Amino acid sequence: MPRYSYGGQALIEGVLMRGRDAIAVALRHPDGRIVFATERLDSGFHGSSWARLPFLRGLIVLYETLFVGTRWLVRSATLQAAGTGEEGDEGVELGKGSIALMLGLTLLAGVGIFFLLPLLIASATTSNIQNGLVQHLVEGLIRVGIFLGYLLLIAQASDVRRVFQYHGAEHMTIHALEAGDPLVVDAVRKYPTAHPRCGTEFLVVVIALSIVAFSLVGRQEPLVMIGSRIALIPVIAAVGYEILKWGAKHRGNAVVRAIMYPGILVQMITTRQPTMDMIEVAIVSMEEALRADGESLPAESGTLPRNPMVLHGPAPAGAEGAPSVTEAEAGLTIDPPLPGA
């Protein structure tokens, strides 16, 4: 069993696995093959003493996850569009500035919809009630309603449902790794699609913390309440990350399990039972993440065929047998098949 807790992210027809010092991506090419690439983690803070400090480490992980995940989400969508003959080009690549702009706009919309909109609605509907706790309770309930409604709405789209299936495959593969099982389909498929370190569970923790944190601010002038929502978001995220790690570590305790159970319930929306070929993609992603970190594969693993992606540009090898990628790279080409081991 590896010494690091691996995590991941579902992509368009693929899975990204995040390891100690690198990420690995495996995608199902439109022609049916599994293609993969690895990339060293280098956010400027990664590996530094700052990245190990409680509370600050959560913000660094969140930044790396958002930036790297967005870039690979775009790449995975581009590969599928190019491979199916739709409008798209394998040479299209978003630069750092474009990704930063996309993330900024997404975060701005998220703050507006999930934090400020509930505040405005709650303030308007409880303006005649003197007890400020009522406003915060109503605000929290509205936030929960918007969050769950959003997930249920997007889950109706067939493409999103496939992403949720890959999300389930990612979790099942991590379960198998943590249990010391071989990374093969028959061993992985017996595990649940929910996982205690899931990003969905993190969001549930953040929403719960926001209700507590914003109630401490109390009923203030409108600008003060709006400013407090924005200013407290990184604080809530940092605390939420530590709670998530603590909860995952102590999940054997019945009380902790009960407290964190809402996060597992929400994963019933954001994960779906994957097909066998989806599990294969998740397994390849995990195996390449282990190799990139210099970890040994579990016994009987490494049997699935795969093809390395070559992303054109000046990139040193990130791991033996797997091409590394940088932000400057663009264009996807597929090398001849390689054996899994």
Domain coordinates in residue numbering, the chain: 7-334
Q: Two tokens at 204?
A: 């549930």
pLDDT of residue 256: 92
Supply the angle between the helices 254-270 and 222-249 in degrees, to the nearest 10.
110
Contact 321, 37 (CB under 8 A): no
What is the distance between the alpha carbons of residues 9 and 66, in angstroms, rounded to a whole number? 10
Q: Looking at residue 94, what is its pLDDT?
A: 60
pLDDT value of position 1: 55
Q: 13: phi > 0 → left, psi -120 to 50 → alpha, else beta; which?
A: left
- Which amino acid does the sequence have at 81? A
H-type alpha helices, the chain: 56-83, 96-111, 117-125, 132-154, 158-179, 185-188, 199-217, 222-249, 254-270, 276-292
Closest listed residue to residue 60, CA positions, set 72, 47, 45, 71: 45
The whole-model pTM stands at: 0.84
Torsion of CA 88, 91, 95, 98, to 10 degrees: -10
Using an 8 Å Cβ cutoff, are 320 and 40 in contact? no
Rounded (5°) CA angle 246-251-255: 100
Given the DSSP bridges, would you call strands 34-40 and 307-311 parallel, antiparallel or unpaired?
A: parallel
The C-alpha angle 10, 12, 13, rounded to 5 degrees, equals 90
Sequential pLDDT tens for the chain (341 residues): 566 789 999 999 999 999 988 999 999 999 999 999 999 987 667 777 777 888 888 888 888 888 888 889 999 998 888 765 444 444 445 667 777 888 888 889 999 999 999 999 999 998 888 777 888 889 999 999 999 999 999 999 999 999 999 999 999 999 999 999 999 999 999 999 999 989 899 999 999 999 889 888 888 888 988 999 999 999 999 999 999 989 888 888 999 999 999 999 999 999 999 999 999 999 999 999 999 999 999 999 999 999 998 765 444 334 444 443 333 333 343 333 343 43
What one-character DSSP code corresponds to residue 211?
H
| Angular region, 15: left φ>0, alpha ψ -120 to 50, beta rest | beta
Q: What is the total residue count of the chain?
A: 341
